[in-house]
Amino acid sequence: MAKCDVCGKNENMPYNCRHCGGTYCADHRLPENHDCSGLQNWNDPKGVFDSGFDDSVDGGSTSRVSSLTSKIPIDTGPGGTFAYFRGNMTYTFLALMWLTYALQFITLYIIGSTALHETLFVLTSQHPEFVWTWFTSIFAHAPFPDFFHLVGNSIVIFFFGPLVERYVGSRNFAILFIASGVLAGLSQIAISVAQGSPGAVIGASGAALAIMGVLTVLNPGLKVYLYFLLPVPIWLLTAGYAVMSITFLSGAVGGGGGIAHMAHLVGLAIGLAYGQYVKNNRNVGAPNSLEFGGGGPGGPGGPGGPGGRRRF
């Protein structure tokens, strides 16, 4: 038993203030109720509330980073602009696609180097050893003014991506997106080599169709309002892309319009396989309807262009 330093009350379970060291009853245990000397140092970073770390860190990397972020005209805090991308790989990938497109524009029209553009952003059968293009080609798209290639893929990823990411998690979604994009691109240049012609490919349609494949398995009856008007089940939309790609690859219809049909099929196959894996191992569901504006006749990536480069 001890006496309260303020009122003298005998206390069986006294409170010892860690700031001033006094002994107090329940009524006077709070610093503001016993005129705690620690309150005088409340705003003093070197007072009793100091973290105790070495003062040598002052002005170090932490303070420099803090100073830098305070000068950025964007709210980088937990509720700021960048918070929109935390734990949200779909919109992070979309942002990377548009940023890459801006870099493509700079390379082609400001620097004026087609060769540099090919080296940085285009996966080619001539230089498959340029490993960075396995990844940059996913985010690159048909150069300006063929703007629809980027817009078409963005629409599909924007509406379908968050659904898949919600069910499989951001980490698995990121792996699915990158892996399907890389394998789709490599498969396209592989078939070009097998056919005896040089191949080059850019675009995110392989990843976009992988996302569609996952949703097709999880909920084949998912209603999609194509062009915001025509309601169709997602299985029919996915089957349409598959049939069209197989038809062009088989040679039943002449020419492929510069579209990477093999990349479409590989991306879709990966999505269907992963969707089946998720369905077998998890109890997941999907919404019953979704509105989005569809891509062009060449799939989510829109129509391809001239010159042997295939957009997907």
- What pLDDT shows up at residue 268? 93
Q: What pLDDT, on the 0 to 100 scale, is given for residue 93?
A: 95
- Domain 1-39 architecture: Irregular (4.10)
Q: How far apart are CA 203 and CA 212, in angstroms?
A: 16
C-alpha pair distances (Å), 26 with each of 7, 10, 16, 273, 283? 11, 11, 10, 63, 51
Please, what are the averages of pLDDT over each run of 10 residues along the chain (312 residues)? 80 75 81 75 50 45 48 53 70 94 94 92 91 94 82 90 90 95 92 83 91 92 78 86 76 55 89 92 55 38 36 52
Indicate the CATH number for domain 83-281: 1.20.1540.10
Amino acid 54: pLDDT: 46
Helix locations, 27-79, DSSP H: 61-71
Query: CATH 1.20.1540.10 region(s) of the chain?
Result: 83-281
Q: Which of 144, 164, 246 is nearest to 213 (CA)?
A: 164
Length of the chain: 312
